[in-house]
Structure 1
Amino acid sequence: MYVSNYFVFKNSISGIYEKVAQNNTLAVRTMIQSFDNSFRSVNNIIHTIHGLPYSSLESEEEGRIDMAKVYTMQDSISSLASSVDFIEDVIVFYDDMDLAITSVGTSSLSQLFEKKYKHDLYNENYWRTYIRGKNSFKLLPGQYFKVATNSSWQRKKLMVAVGGNKIRMSNKNIILLIDEAALLKYVNQKVMIPGASLIVLDQDRSVVLSTDESSDLSGVLDEVYFNSSQEGSLKKEDYQYNFYKSDFNDFIYINKVPYQFQNIDSVVDANEMIMLSAIISAVLLSALLSIYLNRPVKKIIRQLGGTSRGNDFRKILSGIVKMQMEIDSTKEQLKQAESEARRSVFLQTVDEHAYSSEHNSLLQSSYSDMLCNKYFVLTMVHLDPKTKDQPPSMAVESITEVLNEALCQVSDEVQVFYDKNLHFVLLIGLEQPANRAALLKQLQRLCASLEQAELQNYSVWASISKTYATELKNYKQAYRSAMDGLLYRTVNESSHVQDTEKIQFGWSLYFPFDKIEKLSNYMSNGRLQEAKEIISETLGENANRNVHHHQMAHIAKTMFLYMLRHSNMTATADDEMYKLEQQFLQRIDFAHDYMDIENTLIEAAKHIAKHSKARDTNRLNPSFISQYIELHYMENLYLDHIAEIVETSPKYFSSYFKKTFGVNYVEYLNKVRLSHAKELLKDSSLTIGEIGEKTGYLNSSTFTTTFKKYYGISPSEYRKQNTNE
């Protein structure tokens, strides 16, 4: 009995712990690779921003800030920040300016750290002082910031990454705010053994992140030595410390692991009690067998039948039940860890960055059985909530289970992984490449069925890759192929599944700059109907040309920024416009078809026009006058006519114009007309008379005389000089 109990104990507890410890080592290595990828992404964003144009935001005229540069810079920063889930915000500012450009808009640097990201230490003065020093790239440990939301303050723990300035790559100062909780979720700390923790030290051996805030490293670092080619390990008290050194940035990762499972003492005590009871019973039975054979047997029977009044057997039973519960819990943890490890292996495999050959060999040997068929296709399934304002709350795990059950009807061998942003990756095994055509038809029926049943709150569409041999190295190509299918689907695509083998690439975009410029001015004057016509005409023409979805989305985003360019919103509308911009960008990225994009853009135009109308009812102001002239310069803009438009007398308007703009009205109008005429002379094949008519002159003679008066040469000579250039 003693031997049998000892055997059960070893196989149920120790064996499970050894298996978990082995999986923990692989899980920690995977987490470290995820951390390295995260820090590599942060470093790439910083270098990319330094490489962006505009070392100065000042315009060429009078040293003012060129808002076109600002909008271009902000659009680029927003695109970079949105590519990484754990980036809270990206802040770019210049030494000689108070303007701060972020991924969500612009603000003064002082206002940003007082009313958006509030911290007792990290304020504007701190960062100005820090930037003036010569510092290398620095990752600051997580600190609790008060982050402003739409209606309240939220307490959030943020890490701060600051670009180095020992060697200035540009005039830009860059600060990245990292959501520590999102980063830990990204690296998936839950796959570690229960009771274990991970501590991250930077190149200066300072703690920048710890999953266990109570960890004390006093004396630990002094007792271990290792270099980049080997790992270190140290046992101290009840824990073992495993040291790993990053190949990317010399960071040190310390995995603190307990010698055994937490709360296992009660199970060990129960097993010891079982073994002790067995020994005592055996001794008593041997001593009393010849004398008290009958009575002891009866007592044992009564005890086994539950008639004993003592509590020893209850304790034994309780210990056995508790041990079984912990064994079942550990098995479930192993199952989840195995699933997460497979997902992690896949995501590492499709990562664009290379891993060491030793690491790839380890993954190949551990997960070579991910698919058993000789061939496979990768299908990228994307879900888009049909209710935009209140997305469905169906959990990712539930969606994964639905896809798993549905795909059992399609193939006997399927792996489903969640990627991000409601993207799901399906690895489907094939016996022969010829089976792909039948699989494509089945997936089309399956997606349509799911959209009507289990996933009725979502729009479902997918992209299927080419056929590949089942090798770990081919997952990256298959993943890229399926992503291309989502990006390059045409806006008129009606099928639920995009076949990447049938993609026809094209770049026949329609983007009329003159009409888009008018769209911007229409919005600033609240002329919504004319703006709608330009939106519908532009997007409709691109739909007729059957452009790709990502191209249509880019056109819509550009038009949105043009609508905002001249629309100076009031302070009270800032929060509403910020929310509008975020909702617009999200809906455009996940729009199902071309009509979704058009409706989203028109809804945004209504909001912008509403604020533009309300912001200023007095037309006698420089902004309205300059915009009106820019829209109507090709018409007969007599002084009396425009004075009537702004509801004043010609005499007062003439005096007001000269005082406000520094030149008289006729001279200003001629400069506007001639600036457009110069562009037409350089970039069009229109005749001199046609250009004069398009720019508001009654005949070519008047146009030529006026042009020569301002530029010293005739229009034909100007065209000839610029053509030769």
Structure 2
Amino acid sequence: MRNIYEIKYLKRSATKYRNHVGVSFFVVLKGKAMIPVKDVSTFYEEGDTFIVKHNECYKLDVREGNIVVQIHFYKSLIETMVPELLCNHSHVTTQSEMIPLRNQLIYLCSLYLTQENDRNFKIMKQIIAILEIYKGQLHIDNEDSSNMYKDVNPIIEEIRNYIHEHYNERITINTFTNKYRLSESYFSKMFKEQLGVNFKDYLTDIRLLNSIYDLIHTCEKIIDISEKHGFYNVSAYIHAFKLYYGVTPKKYRNMIQNKHAQFERQNFFNEVDNERNLTLEEIKFYLRKFKQKYTKTLCIYA
């Protein structure tokens, strides 16, 4: 069942925002974590649960030595079982309301470690239970739901993923028209129909979005941030930023950092884009410890 879900234990952080495909549930098993979605950063404590929805742009920062478990349900599974989750929606935000969902997620993690003959059957039942609980907490925005159901052209999906991975490199519309042998007019029309925005604005938005993280959480110079995130000169960066956000990057940084204490970057791994794999014994240990502290009614398999 690896093609419909995945469980990962994260100890390190992503370097770039990613366009999320599918739905991911996260539980902080140990310590703290921070997740920036768009330009809003939220901190989570041990025992907290949070969710990244379909088509959200996000990063994940995990403090050194701390652990977050990610239970990711692939788009193919969501489309088959609960397609409403691919729509624009809101969900419960208080951690007390998330406890039933968190407990079921931890139980799924424990089931994954078993070697019983009916393991896959139990896992599938548990996945259904999780999706049903989450569905019951949703408020669907019907105004946008029709657009969210529309399938994205595989070429556009591939291009979007490429942009998120290589946004800081030199990318032009010809990068893709040449590769896919499309005319510029046809490509531009298809891109805007599929994503609701033209190619140039989408690329600029991703570059600005990634730059905001460094504006808020580092002391890097504006010129260095502009070059780091794909702008050919600092003037172009400042112009684009002011056009999108109404203020210059420097003023934006001052506004945010005056409201909140500067993020302690040195306490987080933000320079690598992978996680150190935990051993099976470590996973069992942390799940068992989490169960003892937060979910005493659940059975964590040894």
TM-score range for the pair, normalised by the shorter chain length: 0.3 to 0.5
* TM-score of the two chains, using structure 2 as the length reference: 0.42
Greater RCO (CA < 8 Å, at least 6 residues apart):
2
Report the TM-score, using the length of structure 1 for normalisation.
Answer: 0.19
